[in-house]
Structures are given as structure tokens and as C-alpha cells.
Amino acid sequence: MLQPAAPVVPPRPVIGASIQAQAPRRNSLARVALVVLCAIAAMLAVYQFVLRKKPAVAVPAPSPIASIKFIVQPEDSIVEIGGKEAGRLSPFEAPLEPGVYSIAVRRAGYKQWTSQVTLRDGEKQTVRVALEAGVARLSITSQPAGLVAHLDGKQLEQLTPLEVQTTAGAHTLVVTNAAGIPWSQEFTAEIDGKYTFHAPLTATKKPAAATPNVTPTRPTPTPPPDRIDRIDRTNDRIKRPPPSTPAVVIDTEPRVPDRIPEPPPMRPDAGVPLPVTPKQPEIKPAVPRSSAPALIAQTAVTKISGSIPTLKVTSNDDSADVIGKICIDESGHVTSVKAIVKSLPEISEEIQRSLMAWRYRPYTNPSGQSSAACFPYQLRVVFKRGN
């Protein structure tokens, strides 16, 4: 006999079993929520830093550029702006920012020019500068006074003592006395400098140059086999020119007469006679030095002093024309005078003596040196008669 099945009794619920069943489901939901939040945050970050437009930053407008144009004389002067060189060839233009600037213009031998310039936005200014030449002052004296001075090879118009102005830089001063003896001094002048020079030239004559003694050599004579001739050698002596002759010519060529005279009787104490060779050695005459004064026009020289004294004449004429030639030395002193008065020959010598005391400014030749010169002249002498 079948027995009835026993009833199935459900198991008793265990405390905490439902909690264990729901725990995995809750963890998965939290993970999904965390991933979603991270994705949203990433999207917000991309939008914030990449996709979102940045606000425009306001850039300040640049200030308009100003400029200064320089026109300077001399054109190669150096222009400095704010202590820095800006250019050295005028004209030129320098762009600058607005502000206050110090300007300096300089050049060797000129006084420096300085100033200040204020530039505003976009302003253009022009600066014109003509530098003033820097000069120095010279005071020149000499002993004796009244001498000619040359500065850098150029003769000064005044005689010593004198004062002149010159440019800054290196110079050479030369003072020459009446005898042609020079005194020189080199110096470097600075701008606004004052310099004093004294030339002690007390000597009045140049030292005399030694004159060489010219003695013609005589070879040992060899008498001819048949006769011994004697020649009068009076004319064979060396002729020395007078001191005033500029060219010295020595004539040593023997002059043999056409007919040989008989020799004079010899005295017992005359010594051993000097036999003469048939042919004397040829000695070339000395070449004269080219020291002749230059022939110039009367307008090439300037008279410094001199006048015609009072003359006593018996002519009824009111005037007389004088023509002739005057020669001066390197210092301007008259060395020779030739005067011709056709209407009154008797006053020619007196006029010549008067002209010898005249003084001229030394003549400067084309090479820049003082030299002797001669020039023709013409003047008219006017007679003043008493009542």
C-alpha cells in the first residue's frame, strides 16, 4: 500500500541572505555611475579648454613713431642722440619714440653744439646746425721788431709784433730777419687757446761761407830738346770778382801771344826759373750759380716805407718823370737803384740816394720762398715852389 508523500517543507529563511544576494547588483550600478560621471567631466573639460572660444584680449595700440631730420654743416660732422652716434653724413633722418632727447654735434677743428629736443606722438622735427670753426689766438713778437712772419708757409700781412687768429691743429711758425736768418717753431693749437711766441733774432748778417781756394795744379815741366821758351804769365792769374758780383767765374786758360817775346835778363837772386810746358792743362771755368735776382713787375711788390726828399731845382717845370730799375734782397731792402730823369739829369743821383732808403715787402717767388728781385719803375716828381 502506497504511502502518501510527505509534504515538502520549504527551508527556513536565513537572516542576511537577501543582503548577500543584492550586494553584487549594487556594486555594478555604482561602477556604471562612476564611469558616467568621469565621461561627463571629460566632456566638460574638453568643452572648457578646447571648444569654448576665449575672450579677445585688448592689445594697446602702438604709439605713433616720431622722427628728427638733421641738416648739418660741415656735412661729415658726427651727430649723437642720447650719447650714442646716430649718423655722420648730413642730411639724414632718425626715427625715435616720443620723449626727450639730448643731441650733440661735433667735428674736429670746430666747436661742439649741444641741445635738447622733445618729441610728441608722430611729431617730425628738423634740426639745422652750422658748427662754428674753432680758432686760437697767436701773439708774435721779435727782436728786433718789424720782421716778416710766415704761418704754415704763408706770409702774414703784418710785421712783428702782431696778433692773428688761426684754426685749431698743428702749425709751423717761421720768423726771418733782414739778413735772411730764420727762427721757426712748431705747435699744436687748441680751440680758444692763446699762444705767445718771441723770436730772438739779433744777428743782422749771415755767417760768411768759406770760399775755397782754387789753385790750378801745374805738372812737372819737361823742356823741349832744342829750346826753352818763357811766357809772360801776367794774364794767367786768377781774377776774383768783386764781392757784389753774384756769379763767380774763374779764368784759368793761359793766353799765349802771337809772338813770344825775348825773356828778360835774370837777376842773380831771382832763384831758379820756372820752365813752362808747351801746353798748359785745361781747367774748365766754374759754373756760375743761378743766384741772379728775378725780374718782376712793379705791381708784384709792395712798398712799406720811403719817400722823396725836398729837392732844389732850377727848372720852370712843375713835374718830372723818373724811370729806372730797383733791385731788392730777400728781406725787402733796396740793393741797387737806377734812376733816369730826362728833363732834369742833375737830380738823378739825389733821387737814387733817396730810393736806396726805401723798404719793400719781401718778394715771394712761385715756390713760396722769399727771393731777391728787380723790377722797372716809373714815378712822377712834383715840384712845389715857394711864393
pLDDT (tens digit per residue) in 331-355: 999 999 988 888 888 888 888 888 8
Greater pLDDT, 22 or 364: 364
Say if residue 109 is exposed, middle or buried (CB neighbours under 10 Å; 0-12, 13-18, 19+): middle
Strand residue runs (E) in 133-203? 135-143, 148-151, 154-155, 162-167, 169-176, 182-189, 194-200
Q: What's the whole-number mean pLDDT along residues 254-261?
A: 50
**Residue 297: per-residue pLDDT:** 87
Per domain, the residue ranges of the chain are: 66-130, 135-200, 294-382
Distance from C-alpha of 75 to C-alpha of 69, rounded to nearest angstrom? 13
User: Looking at residue 370, what DSSP letter applies?
Assistant: B
Q: What letters, b where the CB count within 10 A reaches 16 and e where it falls short, cover 208-231?
A: eeeeeeeeeeeeeeeeeeeeeeeb
**Residue 18: per-residue pLDDT:** 52
User: Quick check: do 135-200 and 294-382 share a fold?
Assistant: no
pTM: 0.34
Q: Which of 61-65, 84-88, 166-170 has the lowest mean pLDDT?
A: 61-65
pLDDT above 80 for 73:
yes
| CA torsion through residues 37, 38, 43, 46, sign | positive
Q: Cell digits for 85?
A: 652716434
CA distances from 348 to 214, 262, 379 (A): 41, 52, 13
Q: How confident is the model at residue 90 (pLDDT cuts 50, 70, 90)?
A: confident
Q: How confident is the model at residue 180 (pLDDT cuts 50, 70, 90)?
A: confident
pLDDT above 80 for 246:
no
Report the relative pairing of strands 334-340 and 66-73 from DSSP bridges: unpaired
pLDDT above 80 for 244:
no
Report the relative pairing of strands 303-305 and 182-189 from DSSP bridges: unpaired
Greater pLDDT, 216 or 127: 127
Domain 66-130, second-level architecture: Sandwich (2.60)
Report the relative pairing of strands 113-119 and 84-87 from DSSP bridges: unpaired
Largest pairwise CA distance in the chain: 228
Domain 135-200, second-level architecture: Sandwich (2.60)
Contact (CB, 8 A) for 271 and 349: no
Taking alpha carbons only, the member of 382, 306, 310 closest to residue 343 is 382
For domain 294-382, the question of CATH label 3.30.43 is answered with: no
Taking alpha carbons only, the member of 339, 298, 304 closest to residue 322 is 339
Q: How confident is the model at residue 261 (pLDDT cuts 50, 70, 90)?
A: low
pLDDT above 60 for 223:
no
pLDDT tens digits for range 231-243: 444 444 444 555 5
Q: What's the whole-number mean pLDDT along residues 205-213?
A: 47
